[in-house]
Chains A and B, each alone.
Chain A
Amino acid sequence: MNNMYTFDTSTLWAALPEIFLLSAIVVVLLLDLFLTKPFKQVTYYLTQLSLLITAILAFNLIGEPKTIIFSGSFVLDNMASIFKVFMAGSTMVALVYTRHYLTEHKLFRGEYFVLVLLSMLGMMVMVSGYSLLTLYLGLEILSLSLYTLIAIARERAGAIEAALKYFVLGAIASGLLLYGMSMIYGISGSINITDIATFADNSTLASREMLILNFGLVFLVIGIAFKLGAVPFHMWVPDVYQGAPTSVTMFLSTVPKIAAVAMLVRILVDGMGAMHDYWSDLFMVMALLSIALGSVVALMQTNIKRMLAYSTISHIGFILLGFVTGVVEGYGAAVFYVLVYILMSMAAFGMIILLNKQGFEADKISDFKGLSKHSPWFALMMLAIMLSMAGVPPFIGFYAKLFILQQVISAGFITIAVIAVVFAVISSYYYLQVVKSMYFEDSDNEITITAPMDMKLILSINAVLILVVGLFPDFWMKLSISIF
């Protein structure tokens, strides 16, 4: 074990994507200072290029054997690499949509892109973190960037309110997480996930040690649930989603969920796997509450961002159900669900951004009225997105739910599965409200789409994927299981 605690430069390759991204951030930040107004787009392209290279670097590391470096606090395994590729890819897509939003709302600034890159770095650290400290570090890099991103629309009172709310509640969550970490450290004597796993997987633990371990565990679970937005720690989600500029909402509702799930896997599955019985009960309660509340409260929303916030909460409930099962396939189902959720959520927010024009936020469900007449193609795409979220086949959202339900039933929780599907039916009502607006109603205002070609193209691909991956989900299901 001793060689784990040495620093060896020859192992740095394992962190190559992170190292590259950090350097790229510095370059983009400095370069942006010297760019005059007509050349501001360079920042955008440079950002995309950095993300692309990061993705390629991470992709090349797929298949490497599990490597733990930096004194046991940083891990490279397939899960880390695959997640990094997905995060970089979805961030690139998000930035395509973002550019249109920023241009229309006169928010186009170099810092925006630097902050996105920084939060990306934070997420990568979270995904690869293998000690409590690294994980926490990654989480804070991510969170601080997100707080600032929300506040970037500084003239909007709603955005400032959202940023503050997110900051205060996020700080409490971080505090709880740290508190739990300190307890775990106190009793196990280590912050490394491997050591904690060895400690927890010991049947001869004294009841006093078990008690403290359990206390620490509860705080960790609360901290993670906070970041995921699971009920009863969901209060920030609707307000932040609604208040933040839509491009930021899109970003924070999608990519960071991968990182949060990765942190969950590192701490609870890798570190506390032996205590699954203890945390799975907590997860079960949170999952059911999330599904129920997310499905029911969303029914009354007229703001589509707020509706999607509650819909996210209910999706998170399904993801948590995957972890309740305690088997590799169940975790795989959860990861598959996360990836599917990101695909759908990205497209849904992309559609909202698509309808944005010059200082006009298309964030009401009624803003979609008559879309099928003015733009049948994008109405069809939105139909696919909404029905996919509702879990109607042949769209991908159905297979995500199928995978979770199969695992839940296989674990013997048939009642839970029945409750979950009943709420899924209830939730389909609000997705149908959007369909209703687009297809069954007509608006007096002409809907004009001012988005550039690249955004339309990427958004179309994104939405078509919801159907295509739905027809051929096998590869992605296998991939999701293979990372465990």
Chain B
Amino acid sequence: MDNSLLSLLIWLPIFAGIFVIFIGNERANTARWISVATSILVFIISLSLYTEFDSNTHLMQFEEKTSWISQFNIYYHLGVDGISMPLIILTTFSTILVIIAGWEVIQTRPAHYMAAFLIMEGLIIGVFSSLDAILFYAFWEASLIPMLLIIGVWGGDNRVYAAIKFFLYTFLGSVFMLVSLIYMYNKGGSFSILAMHDLSLTATEQAWIFWAFFMAFAVKVPMFPVHTWLPDAHVQAPTGGSVILAAIMLKMGGYGFFRFSLPITPDASYEFSEVVIILSLIAIVYIGFVALVQRDMKKLIAYSSISHMGFVTLGVFALFLAYKPGAAEAALLGLEGAMVQMISHGFISAAMFLVVGVLYDRLHSREISTYGGVINSMPKFTGFAVLFAMANAGLPGTSGFVGEFMVILGAVQANIWYGVLAGSTLIVGAAYTLWMVKRVFWGAITNPDVETLSDINAREFSILAVLAIAVLAMGLYPQPVIDVMHVTIEHLLNQALTSKL
């Protein structure tokens, strides 16, 4: 092992988290400082993934491989490519934000709260960097446990229901994936994900495996009609939990499509691509309208998340129809758009949930009707909130525009109507977001409590400022991110278009 960067990224936060548990809630300040220091350290280390990354190859980099369970030929095998590397940095970035965001707000068991997020950070990095299916599955399931506790312990009034629903939904989805992974192991003799990419499978096998994967990933994304756990989980989760859930955990589903579904079952993905596209379009259009009628801000953002994640699955599966021999650009555009959308959604949804969190901490209400005229008492905060709302609506110049535009371009090549339907989000999305902005931030103050609101403090300001920079940077100059993933995505496109039959 000449390079143990990824192991460090996984285990440093996990062990720091365990350490923080032992520090205990009595010494909360020590726990907070250690947590924030760890998360910043992990973020800095993860940046070296970017700086030392070679974007001219699709091969796995920073690889580590040690025998783990030799009985099943299972390896502790880590590595990243252009798809997983940006997601890891997104993870380390978001974790800093949630730990700082929970600084004063979390007064019950603060040390355990911080520890849960640190441990979850390590586990999610594990998900994105595992190259062995069982290792992947272990991280994938294990990451449910801290989230279950975060929702259940620090959540709202109906937290028990939301926490258990979240756990059972995602658990049920992923056991089918486990069965198909074992099936492929029995066939190919290896749990290596890369070996599974090359495993030849018949059409029937691919169809079954595709749907098994689909159950696991669609629940996580979440896609219509298995999205119902998400609004519950988001509404009940504490702000930090919502941020990680939206910014990272949903991406695990999208990542699954990139890493498993397309390369392992290319023919089945092609065969069923229209089903997935239609489900994605339903998510984009129908869920957009559902978001329009929400009275609860968090629920509104949760539904808007589902709608935006629809672009990810649309971009991924539109490639089969968008691809014309000799002209791969459209298909490539859709795939890259899906990746950009995942990262951009990570920033925007995190920002939106933090914005709601700021309001909730002050008035303890998520109802839109509680507010009105917030701009009068919180001008600085409103500036940020409107920026993020614009990004959520897909305003050019913000990150929200780039991914959606790329996906729509790809979708138009596939079928003009897909493009039209997907494009309707620019109207619906703007409608629900801006209407919420109007009702919450603008107008006259109707609730006397709003008058007494104090504007954001330095801590909140810095979190939102960092996110604002990220949103704008991605919107104005997304090229560095696209460069990093370009070769990997091209390779993935090849894999997806090469029949295994």
Q: If A392-B141, A432-B167 touch, does A440 touch B72 (CB 8 Å cutoff)?
A: no
Does B450 lie at the interface of the complex (its beta carbon under 8 Å from any beta carbon of A)? no
Partner of A474, one of B68, B175, B182: B68
Contact flags A167-194 to B (C-beta < 8 A → 1, else 0): 0000000000000000000000000000
* B145–A387 CB distance below 8 A: yes
Does A157 lie at the interface of the complex (its beta carbon under 8 Å from any beta carbon of B)? no
Q: If A392-B141, A429-B168 touch, does A405 touch B68 (CB 8 Å cutoff)?
A: no
Residues of A within 8 A of B453 (CB): none
Cα(A418)–Cα(B149), bound, Å: 28
* A393–B179 CB distance below 8 A: no
* B185–A393 CB distance below 8 A: no
Q: Which of B116-148 contact A (CB under 8 A)?
A: 134, 137-138, 141-142, 144-145, 148
Does B186 lie at the interface of the complex (its beta carbon under 8 Å from any beta carbon of A)? yes
Does A435 lie at the interface of the complex (its beta carbon under 8 Å from any beta carbon of B)? yes
Q: If A393-B141, A425-B168, A432-B164 touch, does A474 touch B69 (CB 8 Å cutoff)?
A: yes
Residues of B within 8 A of A418 (CB): 176, 179
Does B178 lie at the interface of the complex (its beta carbon under 8 Å from any beta carbon of A)? yes
Does A402 lie at the interface of the complex (its beta carbon under 8 Å from any beta carbon of B)? yes
Contact flags A366-408 to B (C-beta < 8 A → 1, else 0): 0000001000100010010001000011100011001101100
* B179–A417 CB distance below 8 A: yes
Does A477 lie at the interface of the complex (its beta carbon under 8 Å from any beta carbon of B)? yes
* A406–B141 CB distance below 8 A: no
Cα(A441)–Cα(B153), bound, Å: 8
* A392–B142 CB distance below 8 A: yes
* B152–A439 CB distance below 8 A: yes
* B141–A398 CB distance below 8 A: yes
For A421, the closest partner residue in chain B by CB is: B175
* A477–B142 CB distance below 8 A: no
Q: If A429-B168, A432-B167 touch, does A405 touch B178 (CB 8 Å cutoff)?
A: yes
* A394–B175 CB distance below 8 A: no
Q: If A394-B142, A432-B164, A440-B160 touch, does A402 touch B175 (CB 8 Å cutoff)?
A: no
Cα(A418)–Cα(B175), bound, Å: 8
Does A252 lie at the interface of the complex (its beta carbon under 8 Å from any beta carbon of B)? no
Does A414 lie at the interface of the complex (its beta carbon under 8 Å from any beta carbon of B)? yes
Cα(A399)–Cα(B179), bound, Å: 13
Distance in angstroms from B162 CB to nearest chain A CB is: 10
Residues of B within 8 A of A414 (CB): 179, 183
* A425–B172 CB distance below 8 A: yes
Interface size in chain B (residues, C-beta < 8 A): 35
Distance in angstroms from B193 CB to nearest chain A CB is: 16
Residues of B within 8 A of A398 (CB): 138, 141
Partner of A406, one of B72, B112, B142, B160: B72
Q: If A421-B175, A421-B176, A421-B178 touch, does A393 touch B138 (CB 8 Å cutoff)?
A: yes
Residues of A within 8 A of B168 (CB): 425, 428-429, 432
Q: Which of B333-383 contact A (CB under 8 A)?
A: none
* A425–B171 CB distance below 8 A: yes
For B184, the closest partner residue in chain A by CB is: A409
Q: Which one of B134, B149, B171 has the highest number of Cβ atoms from chain A below 10 Å of its Cβ?
A: B171
Contact flags B150-184 to A (C-beta < 8 A → 1, else 0): 00110000011001100110011001101100110
* A406–B185 CB distance below 8 A: yes
Cα(A418)–Cα(B69), bound, Å: 23
Does B71 lie at the interface of the complex (its beta carbon under 8 Å from any beta carbon of A)? yes
Residues of A within 8 A of B176 (CB): 418, 421
User: By DSSP majority rule, is chain B's interface helix, strand, loop, or mixed?
Assistant: helix
Does A326 lie at the interface of the complex (its beta carbon under 8 Å from any beta carbon of B)? no
Q: If A392-B145, A473-B69 touch, does A376 touch B175 (CB 8 Å cutoff)?
A: no
* A428–B171 CB distance below 8 A: yes
Partner of A392, one of B144, B163, B179: B144
Q: If A392-B142, A418-B176, A421-B176 touch, does A439 touch B153 (CB 8 Å cutoff)?
A: yes
Does A478 lie at the interface of the complex (its beta carbon under 8 Å from any beta carbon of B)? yes
Cα(A152)–Cα(B142), bound, Å: 42
Does A410 lie at the interface of the complex (its beta carbon under 8 Å from any beta carbon of B)? yes
For B175, the closest partner residue in chain A by CB is: A421
Distance in angstroms from A480 CB to nearest chain B CB is: 9
Cα(A429)–Cα(B168), bound, Å: 7
* A417–B69 CB distance below 8 A: no
Does A424 lie at the interface of the complex (its beta carbon under 8 Å from any beta carbon of B)? yes
* A439–B172 CB distance below 8 A: no
Q: Which one of A425, A429, A441 has the highest number of Cβ atoms from chain B below 10 Å of its Cβ?
A: A425
Residues of B within 8 A of A477 (CB): 69, 71-72
Distance in angstroms from A364 CB to nearest chain B CB is: 18
Does B21 lie at the interface of the complex (its beta carbon under 8 Å from any beta carbon of A)? yes
* B153–A421 CB distance below 8 A: no
Cα(A406)–Cα(B163), bound, Å: 30
For A436, the closest partner residue in chain B by CB is: B160
Distance in angstroms from A67 CB to nearest chain B CB is: 28
Q: If A418-B179, A421-B178, A425-B168 touch, does A409 touch B186 (CB 8 Å cutoff)?
A: yes
Cα(A435)–Cα(B167), bound, Å: 12
For this complex, 16 residue pairs linking A to B, each with C-beta atoms less than 8 Å apart, are A380-B21, A392-B141, A392-B142, A399-B69, A402-B182, A405-B179, A418-B179, A421-B179, A428-B168, A429-B164, A435-B148, A436-B160, A441-B160, A477-B69, A477-B71, A478-B71
Complex A-B, nearest 9 residue pairs according to Cβ-Cβ distance, in ascending order: A393-B138, A421-B175, A440-B152, A477-B71, A425-B172, A410-B186, A474-B69, A393-B141, A440-B160
A residues whose Cβ falls under 8 Å from a Cβ of B: 372, 376, 380, 383, 387, 392-394, 398-399, 402-403, 405-406, 409-410, 414, 417-418, 421-422, 424-425, 428-429, 432, 435-436, 439-441, 473-474, 477-478, 481
Query: Can you name 15 extra interface pairs (CB under 8 A) apart from A376-B112, A392-B171?
Result: A394-B142, A402-B72, A405-B182, A414-B179, A421-B175, A421-B176, A421-B179, A425-B175, A436-B152, A436-B160, A436-B163, A440-B159, A440-B163, A441-B160, A474-B70
